[in-house]
Amino acid sequence: MAQRRQNILITGASSGLGEGMAREFAAMGRNLALCARRVDRLVELKAELEAKHPGVKVLVRPLDVNQHDQVFEVFRAFKQELGQIDRVIVNAGLGKGQPIGKGRFDANLQTAQTNFIAALAQCEAAVEIFRAQNSGHLVSISSMSAMRGLPRNLTTYAATKAGLAALTEGIRADLLRTPIKVTTIYPGYIETELSSKSAKTPLMVDTASGCRALVAAIEREPAKACVPSWPWTLVGWYMRNAPLAWIAKMS
């Protein structure tokens, strides 16, 4: 059975999956270190969680993950305040993108920098702390889109999430003989502020249900997990094995 991780750091915690996971972990009595660009949202979340769950410590700090030096500073400051960081969830990310060659390199570059380069900085900062402690659990939030190259607006996004998954697996390979655990999570369609602005997507689950499933998977500390497991484990197999022409039609 996986050990209890008491002090949990979550990036991109001011909305969406990060905010939802923070609520779930607080309800389990875990201390939280939450960071994001929108510090006003973090302060509101801190007040809500501490009121609902007395005894839970919630620390918040502003962080733009594309400011790489700031990533290390914020992670180290949280470590100093809490004494130990038991789990880091690399969650901050960006979903925008445009078809390649359509004149929107700026949008694709921003997605690539946020979802991969900034994630690399977060992994470096987290594993630096874990190596010094000789303990910890690194979790990266990838995406089901990482299973395959995807067309149109998803091309760059899918590539960054595949890159993050490969990065996380490489870190896991490097740490196999240590007490440090490493997990890659592949979320399916979970409703967030961004997704709620568009038409309802087939197979989408609500935010609360999706975040409960995410936290349950993270608590098991597997090498990797599709979330929710049904139907996304099966969908993942299909995406990896179907002809590319079929994948192009479904995405």
* Cβ proximity of 34 and 59 under 8 Å: yes
Residue 40: Cβ within 10 Å count: 9
Strand order from edge to edge, sheet including 181-187: 58-62, 31-36, 7-11, 87-90, 137-141, 181-187, 224-227
Tell me if residue 238 is catalytic.
Answer: no
User: Are 59 and 43 contacting, i.e. CB atoms less than 8 angstroms apart?
Assistant: no
The residue type at 212: R
Partnered with residue 20 across adjacent β-strands are: none
Q: Which two tokens stand for residue 4?
A: 């209890």
- Residue partners of 207: CB distance under 8 A and separation at least 6: 16, 17, 20, 190, 191, 192
- How far, rounded to the nearest angstrom, does the alpha carbon of residue 130 sit from its chain's CA centroid? 18
Catalytic, out of 157, 186, 189, 238: 157
Active site residues: 157
